[in-house]
Chains A and B, each alone.
Chain A
């Protein structure tokens, strides 16, 4: 049974206060809180293992390497991949940047990359840099009225020059979901690389790279109860084998000599140069096991229940509310209070202990679609409650000119 009271006991930060009020954490799109088991796992590494991860010579190092490989297996099973197809990075941003560098050798002037206005800066700027360097063309798939990405609109954009399609599975602002199976079907047998940014999806949905049939998929541990500084770059084995590393150094090389000749270890080791973020990779396993113990479907159901409730309450109680993504099933609600600058609302809510994000949410192309710049983003996770929603709605209802927070 999904028991939110029980779940909340596992998250130490939920006992903290902000501005004298119990913390209400609605900024899960930015990062999630961590359960005690994850914090404990980090602590355990530093108190019980502490060594580097070169398998070899002594027990502690051996167990450290084993622990990293255990996380790799756990991640692989979580997304239905093989462990060798899992590369650890420092996050989604690092994974996409690495991909852009590694895919460069397949690209030439005039080649096309397809993105959408929903994309996070991490899935636009690395491609802009390649565009400028190589003379690529970047195209944006047309969105429907509800902000959706349809295969029809994608099909219309694809040409013989299309080399890469890189799209979020769930967008970090609107919560729009793209449909991987349909996209990979559409481009079957064409020479197009399909990349999925799953940073917002992995925390909330079942990921299945086999079913998605994508070439690459990336996400960050910190948004799914795991520690910061750890990300995953999944690639189909045949794709990974065709790539050269983007980082060079220790742990990834096989041998080299003074003339500059070098050879690499096998996938995935050849993509993991240098000492990894050992403690946090190990602790990431605890995060995934925790999510699995609750159940991804149960989490989703809980979030959708909260979403429906908050939308209903906001419409009923806050006359000046504008909600931008009412029609989309997701864990986020994007809104504004008519006539009030989003950041003024966020600061006001801060004075009630409510953490909520204002601004453009790192998706600075979205205004082309939304027609507004700054919005407020409320993003739920498994530990949020209806009672927290009630506090939010009451605060917004009493908002006035929203400068209260500034004069307390």
Chain B
């Protein structure tokens, strides 16, 4: 499936201007990670409610640019109700797209809105900030459980 730039742009604009998963969570049963980057003022928290390696709920709070905000919102939408294993595959495919390697387009659904990011290298960090945080949270949770 090939989307036009207009469609991709519309996806980003709508997730940026009306993010569905933006909600600050004050509940200690959620896993939480703070996301910030050196070169821009992105300042987010990512929250996951996990049960038996399945992400039951995912939210984020904070502020960032259009790219980072839309990317996190789409990510939360895609991982809600999914297993860690599925989320990890999403993360892998998303990073392949960032590196301009071949990737599974259908699997990435709306996240392919960020397919042009590699042409603006300074924005790769924005597009991946949420996905990188997700990866850290999952790895940490899994190694905590092993101990």
Contacts and interface: CB of A to CB of B under 8 A. Distances in A.
A363 B13 CA distance: 30
Among B12, B41, B64, B119, find the residue whose CB has the most chain A CB atoms closer than 10 A.
B41
Contact of A343 (B9, B13, B40, B117): B40
26 contacts: A341-B63, A341-B64, A341-B65, A341-B66, A342-B41, A342-B65, A343-B65, A343-B126, A344-B66, A347-B65, A347-B67, A350-B120, A351-B120, A358-B40, A359-B39, A359-B40, A374-B40, A401-B13, A403-B9, A403-B12, A406-B9, A406-B116, A406-B120, A407-B9, A408-B116, A408-B119
Given A341-B65, A373-B63, A406 B117 contact: yes
Q: Dominant SS at the B interface? A: helix
Contacts of B119: 408
Contacts of A245: none
A405 interface: yes
B5 interface: yes
B40 A407 contact: no
A99 B116 CA distance: 47
The 8 A-B residue pairs with the shortest CB-CB distance in the complex, in nearest-first order: A343-B65, A407-B5, A341-B65, A374-B41, A344-B66, A343-B40, A359-B41, A344-B65
Contacts of A344: 65-67
B88 interface: no
B123 interface: yes
Contacts of B39: 359
A213 interface: no
A111 interface: no
Interface string B1-28: 0000100110011000000000000000
Contacts of B63: 341, 373
Nearest to A339: B17
B14 to A, nearest CB: 11
B39 to A, nearest CB: 7
B122 interface: yes
Contact of A360 (B9, B13, B41, B126): B41
Contacts of B67: 344, 347, 406
Interface in B108-147: 116-117, 119-120, 122-123, 126
Interface in A286-319: none
Among A341, A347, A408, find the residue whose CB has the most chain B CB atoms closer than 10 A.
A341
A367 B122 CA distance: 24
Interface in A356-373: 358-360, 373
Among A347, A350, A359, A407, find the residue whose CB has the most chain B CB atoms closer than 10 A.
A407
Given A343-B40, A407-B5, 9 more contacts: A343-B126, A347-B120, A347-B122, A374-B40, A401-B9, A401-B13, A403-B12, A407-B8, A407-B116
B120 to A, nearest CB: 6
A341 B62 CA distance: 13
A405 B126 CA distance: 14
Contacts of A401: 9, 13
A403 B66 contact: yes
Among A351, A360, A406, A408, find the residue whose CB has the most chain B CB atoms closer than 10 A.
A406
Nearest to A408: B119
Contacts of B122: 347, 350
Interface in B32-54: 39-41
A76 to B, nearest CB: 36
A376 to B, nearest CB: 12
A5 B13 CA distance: 41
Contacts of B40: 343, 358-359, 374
A401 B14 CA distance: 12
A93 to B, nearest CB: 15
Nearest to A403: B9
A87 B67 CA distance: 45
A408 B119 CA distance: 8
Contacts of A358: 40
